[in-house]
Amino acid sequence: MEILSMQFLMALGTIVLMDLLLGGDNAVVIAMAANKLPENLRKKAILIGTAGAVIIRLVMTLVAVWLLTIPYLQAIGGLILLPIAVKLLVPEKKDEHVEASDSLMGAVKTIIIADAAMGVDNVLAIAGASHGSFVLVVFGFLISIPIIVGGSTLIGKIMDRFPVVLYAGAGLLGWTAGSMIAHDKILGTMITSAVGDWAAIAIQAVLAVGVILTGFCMSRRAKSQTA
């Protein structure tokens, strides 16, 4: 995949969108972890902690990109991504338990550990959308991480006001999951050789629509139960 080609730019846009959709809660956690610090230390803790979290997340993603080249693991990753995509559309109670620290290093440690634990879905989605390109992963991080850290509140408001953004993102995750399954070295080859090359597009489309419909139904049910 050539840098700045249409395919590269489309994949990069997909990765940035996934980062924005899946990274909002992580930005909230970062803010909560440094909440007890004095103002002069709070910004420093957020900057150091975010830098550490980005490095850890980048390493995790690069490892995931490599792991997805192993036969069947890419298909399994696609299946794991499906419930993550559906969860994006289902309202849930905000119940983050993040221990705010009153020391700089304590806050930095909390930010890095919490971000790594919460970032597994993000790592898997980006690894699947990168098509095995480490360059795409790095570019995506460089663009999206500053946006997440600096504009998490604005991103949350946009998603609340325009739910179609969430549905589009969930559908995109479903499409990516289908792509991971259809392009698995062993399983994907078996499917296309048995059915035809059109099977890949069909799987991606079915899973994208399936995620949106499932998420919509579960969201309606959750809202009716809380009403």
In a domain? residue 186? yes
In a domain? residue 43? yes
- In which domain, by residue range, is 70 found? 6-226
| Distance separating alpha carbons of residues 102 and 36, to the nearest angstrom | 5
| Distance separating alpha carbons of residues 108 and 113, to the nearest angstrom | 9
**Per-residue confidence (pLDDT) for residue 209, from 0 to 100:** 95
**Per-residue confidence (pLDDT) for residue 227, from 0 to 100:** 60
| Distance separating alpha carbons of residues 211 and 175, to the nearest angstrom | 9
| Distance separating alpha carbons of residues 8 and 94, to the nearest angstrom | 36
* C-beta separation of 30 from 44 below 8 A: no
In a domain? residue 131? yes
Please compute, for residue 212, the number of CA atoms within 13 A of its CA located in the half-sphere on the CB side.
15
In a domain? residue 179? yes
In a domain? residue 1? no
Looking at residue 221, its amino acid is R
pLDDT by position in tens, the chain (length 227): 567 678 888 888 888 777 777 766 666 666 667 777 787 787 788 778 778 877 888 888 888 888 888 888 888 888 988 988 888 788 665 555 555 566 778 878 877 777 776 677 778 888 888 877 888 888 887 777 776 666 555 666 676 788 888 888 888 889 988 988 888 888 888 888 888 878 889 999 999 999 999 999 998 888 787 76
What is this structure's pTM? Answer: 0.73
Domain count, the chain: 1
Looking at residue 183, its amino acid is H
In a domain? residue 105? yes
In a domain? residue 185? yes
**Per-residue confidence (pLDDT) for residue 212, from 0 to 100:** 94
| Distance separating alpha carbons of residues 184 and 71, to the nearest angstrom | 6
In a domain? residue 14? yes
Pinpoint the alpha helices (H) of 88-196.
104-118, 120-129, 134-161, 163-182, 187-195
